């Protein structure tokens, strides 16, 4: 008989698991990571095994979590959608233990041949049952509690997968009508690709709207929307992994053959699966997929092993809520709980200030994490995390670890003040600004800030900027890391005898490479104002805007002295760009860097401003878009021709586009031009237009 403390713990675990199961399955808003839920579940299971009298009919171990959400029609599953056992031993021991259980249940002698298994991925999404009648999708339902799910047919019809990447749920199965089953229920997982999830969150941030926690919750929430239009806006995909009810179809003899047959029907089936022999084969698959886990385009939290022969599956049968012939073998969790010790500011290469959580070190996603991003001030406030909180940290693939949110929502004690973004850059002391309507705070010391030094150098040396030949990523790293270069103007002091010797001594440089770089620096001193302006890296000032500013003011001094109102008079310069230019030249250190660059010998011809263009301007007032590969012109050469003829080159096609110039392998821009009725030219047509012979 169990002691009172054990009975109380079992009751506490049941309450906790019911709560977290409701948060996970019904509200799609979990408060704890999957690994913590699994730990609590395993603890309750162990107590019930040791003390059967404590096992109650309502224990979470006796059913699949979840219940109906108001607003959906209930669907009774013809064949229950049961869950499978989870093997939390993430080592090879988990596969070995499963194989031993199967062999014992089949009463196989030690010298019997190895059991044949089918090994597949355990997708992190929402389980769905698709019912096809005579090849037509008639119903889609969630798992629900395993016996009764929710009718989400209209939402599931919107799952289109990703172009060129599969994952689309077919509305009709492939094959001759007479050969299609009377009833075929396909079971699988609706999921969201990792890159689709990141793009969705980036779009949410740009709109100033809430971001989503992880791909699994986002996919589940999208499927269970009452409005199918909302589901249709989410980039969802699907993989099949099994069957439900069958009528009028001879089921293949193995699970692998079942999946092959589903693929032939046009149902998406993941290619990362294998038929393996015995524990050795299971272990090899687990290790191979673990090594590839981060490179997969979607999240998995483990692999699934199934006895391959259907006849053996039936012989093994079920125990309580789980089949004896299948198991989910987990990987190290990608979400864990830990303490938030501090919040610090990191200044990125482009000047963006990012709040970074300093964490009590925790092992998550296969590595120890002590730092995690909080993205920006608005994300931090939305997640309502403060120093001292217990938080959930997530690491998936190569994505930078992030704080998902706070564990629990109760009051804090003692009081901890809310985080505030600094007014000055912690690296260089320059003013920190946030553009109106924007979400990111940025350091204004672009040419001065040490955190932005490498990015500023690379941009300054770029082909479309000062075009300094030989100054690439690796050399910039060496120049900055060695302390040889601290500011842009110091580039032009490398020709000094003492500095030239240090330059030649850098890795892979030698005298010849150093001479080539110095020649490139000398050549770059003769430039044009537009290139110099673009090279300064002023926020929002691209090549086209730099040209407009140079043309309008004609002189750098006049531009530097211009007010916001005067800047707004420039073609295509709006309030955001005007304020950005004014802010840049309001920083004394930026002005100082510009003066030092000019003193180093950089110069250009100047004029009175808005000087008339030389030569004929047949493309004046015209906007062109370039796409594909032209026969004799590079993209840059074509752009120079267009601009010399008075035209403007844009990056996207719209109703305002005058012409699209298309070459070989032209893509979506050409399709968009045809859709909008925009005239399309080839290279010959472009030349004729410029020559006036068209």
Tokens of 176: 């001759």
219 in Cβ contact with 213 (< 8 Å): no
Distances (CA, A) of 638 to 469, 508, 545, 626, 649: 22, 36, 18, 8, 9
Alpha-carbon gap, residue 431 to 428, rounded angstroms? 9
Alpha-carbon gap, residue 153 to 140, rounded angstroms? 4
Name which of 519, 547, 520, 555 is nearest 531 in CA terms: 547
List residues with catalytic annotation: 122
Name which of 261, 260, 169 is nearest 273 in CA terms: 260
Q: Determine if the peptide bond prior to 235 is cis (ω within 30°).
A: no
Task: Report the Cα–Cα distance between both ends of the chain, in Å, rounded.
Answer: 97
DSSP string, 531-559: HHHHHTT-TT--HHHHHHHHHHH-SHHHH
- Using CB atoms within 10 Å of the CB of residue 337, give its burial: 0 to 12 exposed, 13 to 18 middle, 19+ buried: middle
Residues paired with residue 343 on neighbouring β-strands, in sequence order: 357
Distances (CA, A) of 615 to 173, 517, 644: 64, 36, 8
Name which of 271, 274, 244, 264 is nearest 128 in CA terms: 244
Name which of 267, 303, 265 is nearest 284 in CA terms: 303
Distances (CA, A) of 586 to 131, 365, 514, 560: 66, 46, 36, 9
Name which of 62, 63, 64, 59 is nearest 7 in CA terms: 59
Tokens of 579: 């304020």
């Amino acid at each position: 008989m169990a002691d009172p403390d054990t009975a109380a713990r079992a009751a506490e675990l049941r309450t906790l698991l019911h709560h977290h199961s409701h948060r996970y399955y019904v509200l799609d808003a979990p408060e704890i990571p999957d690994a913590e839920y699994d730990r609590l579940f395993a603890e309750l299971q162990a107590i019930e095994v040791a003390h059967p009298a404590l096992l109650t009919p309502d224990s979470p171990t006796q059913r699949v979590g979840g219940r109906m959400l108001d607003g959906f029609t209930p669907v009774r599953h013809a064949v229950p959608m049961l869950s499978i056992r989870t093997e939390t031993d993430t080592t090879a021991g988990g596969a070995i233990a499963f194989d031993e259980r199967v062999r014992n249940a089949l009463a196989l002698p030690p010298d019997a041949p190895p059991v044949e298994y089918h090994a597949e991925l355990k997708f992190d999404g929402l389980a769905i049952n698709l019912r096809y009648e005579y090849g037509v999708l008639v119903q889609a339902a969630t798992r629900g509690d395993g016996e009764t799910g929710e009718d989400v047919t209209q939402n599931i019809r919107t799952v289109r997968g990703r172009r060129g990447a599969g994952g689309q749920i077919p509305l009709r199965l492939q094959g001759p009508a007479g050969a299609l089953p009377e009833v075929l229920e396909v079971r699988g997982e609706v999921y969201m690709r990792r890159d689709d999830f990141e793009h969705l969150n980036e779009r949410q941030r740009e709109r100033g709207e809430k971001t989503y926690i992880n791909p699994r919750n986002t996919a589940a929430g999208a499927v269970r929307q009452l409005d199918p239009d909302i589901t249709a806006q989410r980039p969802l995909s699907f993989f099949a992994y099994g069957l439900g009810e069958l009528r009028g179809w001879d089921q293949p003899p193995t699970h692998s053959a079942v999946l092959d047959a589903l693929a032939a029907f046009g149902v998406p089936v993941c290619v990362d699966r294998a038929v393996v022999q015995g524990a050795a084969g299971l272990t090899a698959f687990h290790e191979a997929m673990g090594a590839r886990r981060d490179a997969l385009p979607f999240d998995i939290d483990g692999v699934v092993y199934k006895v391959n022969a259907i006849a053996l599956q039936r012989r093994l049968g079920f125990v309580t809520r789980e089949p004896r012939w299948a198991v989910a073998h987990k990987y190290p969790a990608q979400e864990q709980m830990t303490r938030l010790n501090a919040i610090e500011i990191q200044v990125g290469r482009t000047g963006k200030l990012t709040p970074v959580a300093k964490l009590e070190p925790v092992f998550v996603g296969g590595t120890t994490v002590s730092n995690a991003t909080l993205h920006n001030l608005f994300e931090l406030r939305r997640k309502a995390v403060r120093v001292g909180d217990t938080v959930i940290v997530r690491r998936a693939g190569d994505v930078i670890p992030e704080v998902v949110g706070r564990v629990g929502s109760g009051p804090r004690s003692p009081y901890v003040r809310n985080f505030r973004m600094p007014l000055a850059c912690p690296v260089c002391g320059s003013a920190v600004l946030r553009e109106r309507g924007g979400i990111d705070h940025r350091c204004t010391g672009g040419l001065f800030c040490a955190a932005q030094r490498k990015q500023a150098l690379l941009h300054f040396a770029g082909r479309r900027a000062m075009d300094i030949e030989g100054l690439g990523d690796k050399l910039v790293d060496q120049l900055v890391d060695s302390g040889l270069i601290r500011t842009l103007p110091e580039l032009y002091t490398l020709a000094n005898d003492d500095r030239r010797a240090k330059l030649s001594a850098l890795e892979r440089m030698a005298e010849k490479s150093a001479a080539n770089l110095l020649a490139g620096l000398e050549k770059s001193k003769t430039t044009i104002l537009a290139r110099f302006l673009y090279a300064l890296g002023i926020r929002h000032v691209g090549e086209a805007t730099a040209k407009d500013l140079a043309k309008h003011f004609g002189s750098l001094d006049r531009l530097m002295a211009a007010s916001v109102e005067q800047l707004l008079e420039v073609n295509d310069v709006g309030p955001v760009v005007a304020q950005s230019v004014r802010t840049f030249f309001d920083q004394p250190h930026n002005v100082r860097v510009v003066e030092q660059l000019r003193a180093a010998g950089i110069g250009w011809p100047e004029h009175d401003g808005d000087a008339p263009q030389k030569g004929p301007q047949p493309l004046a007032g015209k906007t062109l878009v370039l796409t594909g590969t032209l026969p004799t012109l590079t993209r840059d050469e074509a752009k120079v021709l267009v601009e010399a003829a008075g035209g403007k080159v844009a990056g996207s096609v719209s109703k305002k586009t005058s012409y699209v110039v298309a070459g070989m392998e032209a893509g979506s821009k050409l399709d968009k031009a045809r859709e909008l009725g925009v005239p399309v030219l080839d290279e010959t047509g472009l030349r004729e237009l410029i020559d006036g012979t068209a």
